[in-house]
Amino acid sequence: MATLGNEVVQTALKIPVESQYERRFGLSSPWEHYYHPSDTAPQGRFECELDDMVVFGDIPQEISGTWYRMLVDPHFCPQPGTPFVDGDGNVSAFRIQDGKISMKIKYVQTERWLLERKAGRRLFGRYRNPYDIHPCVQLANDTTANTNIIYWGGNILALAERGLPYALDPDTLETRGADPYGGQVAAKTFAAHPKVDPRKNELVTWSYSAKGLSTRDICTYSIDPQGRIHNEHWFQQDKPGWPHDGWITDNWIILSNMPFAVNSDEVMKAGGDYWRFVPDQPAEFLVSPRLSNAPNHPAWKPGEFRKYTVDHGLIIHTGNAWEEEDGILKLESHFVSFNVFSFFNAADYEGPKSMPTGDWKRWTIDLSKPDGSELPPPETLLSGIFDFPIFDERLTGRKSKIVYLGQMTSPGTPRPEFDAVVKLNTETGETSTFDTAKDGRVAEPAYIPRGPDCEEGDGWLIFYADQESSRKGELIILDTNDFSKPVAIAQLPFVLRNQVHGNWVQNPHPERPLPPLTGPIRDVTPTPQYSQLNKLL
């Protein structure tokens, strides 16, 4: 779920919460710090499935596919102060076929999750801190597979940038195993936001800390649908960095390096965090050719990469990018004015006193400029606080004009949440906005094309929403041409845990309908000898 304590905007605002002890006769729970407020915070740690969700309205018959969402859901109680980014990956999937929705929630059975289940308790400590784990798991695969989930080459890939992917079965969500590409590349991590090139039909990804924890190495490469690795390129940045997201064009890969540094071993041995926010450090764009030995620019040497900088700020999530004439790149993203990940702040950090911003921007990179150049100021396309950008991925790497964004409309209120979804036409500046209920909030949307040959951005959006006043979550389906009301709302019997990211996957076999996500039904035949209703003569 998109909140200020989540992946985008976090202020120093502290919201007082009434103590719950009086209603529990003075009894306490170690989970109180995590499920907070304990009366209303949605709990997790379960798996379930549902055949036919309650739907208000009519789901368009043309929609056939699955919406896979990733929940951060620690199976065992984390220690107080654990960042929200640390927890087990629990997949929440919704399959739409013939106007009905089936649902399944199932944990990714990572090595870490299995080891803790076997031990019956928490064994891993603070995020990426190698000194805060039980000795029995020091050599274990500690990735949580909890950040993003995509479809590639017949697998669902559960991703967390601290390790390699886990492959899942798209229909059952059963875990098939770790490292589905069989060690073809020496990189030890995998991007949380790899990009699919729809024209070359390849998955473009990167690995930072690619040679191990805190290393400066970055590796970029491509994966074809058969799982074969191509275009492997290694380079080193001047320090360990955090390129969480990035862009691709036909010839280039650009990574957004956020202003964080790795804490010293001494800090981590004392129980500190892995990352440390660095105030005033410029934001960085790390640019590399997709074909490293044949860069498509006369000023670039084979194997080269360059870093470009801008003023201090965070680019956490990116939109589309494309190439223009004379070696000019255009990239779109938000630009956040303060640290979203407040738990990585130093104890004496004082945030900016002005109102937070997260405007939607367009950046220009002139590839003829040397390494270390500062970029010109970006163009502001829309002002406000935005995140979770979605565009028509049929146009990845090519010029596009439609982007869908989550918006926080009231950042200074006692309960700041992402509470609206916006459609922006970047050519005309025209916007359409869908607002949630007064006490509602929304998660990252997903885009469903109306058809294989529809116009850019035409189709539907699907996203999760809930309300503070309701104990039921909802899936909302909007027609992209009419934000005045949904075409359908599917109601859940409970509120779900926070979503990080998710993706819509069209039916990969449109010639046949998708099976429900629920388990197979055991064969059954009527037994007349037990019937109490037989009135046949």
Torsions phi, psi for 376 (to 5 deg) = -70, 160
Which SS3 state, helix, strand or coil, does residue 39 take?
coil
User: DSSP string of 218-261?
Assistant: EEEEEE-TT--EEEEEEEE-SS--EEEEEEE-SSEEEEEEESEE
Residue found under tokens 């996957």: 505
Q: Are 72 and 92 in contact (CB under 8 A)?
A: no
CA distance 446 to 452: 16
Q: Which residues, 6+ apart, have CB-to-CB distance to 151 below 8 Å? A: 68, 157, 170, 503, 505, 508
Contact 423, 404 (CB under 8 A): yes
Task: Find out whether 317 is annotated in a ligand binding site.
Answer: yes
The residue to which tokens 């660095």 are assigned: 278
134 labelled ligand-binding = no
268: enclosing H helix or E strand: helix 265-269
Structure tokens at 63: 């929609």
Long-range own/partner contacts, residues 511-514 (CB < 8 A, 24 or more apart)? 513/64, 513/97, 513/98, 514/64, 514/65, 514/66, 514/95, 514/97, 514/171
Q: Report the Cα 493 to chain-centroid distance in Å.
A: 24
- Of 380, 388, 432, 427, the closest CA to residue 407 belongs to 388
Q: Is 193 marked within a binding site?
A: yes
Residue with tokens 């309701």: 470
Does the annotation list 36 as a binding residue? no
Contact (Cβ atoms closer than 8 angstroms) between residue 219 and residue 210: yes
DSSP state string for 445-508: -EEEESSTTPPTT-EEEEEEEEETT-S--EEEEEETTB-SS-SEEEEPSSPPPPEEEEEEEE-S
* Alpha helices (runs of H) in 1-120, residue ranges in sequence order: 111-119
Whether omega before 42 lies within 30 degrees of 0, making that bond cis, reads no
Distance CA 448, CA 425 (A): 17
The residues, ordered by sequence, that sit 6+ positions from 379 with a Cβ below 8 Å of its Cβ are 361, 362, 364
Annotated binding site: 193, 244, 317, 501
Annotated binding site for Fe cation: 193, 244, 317, 501
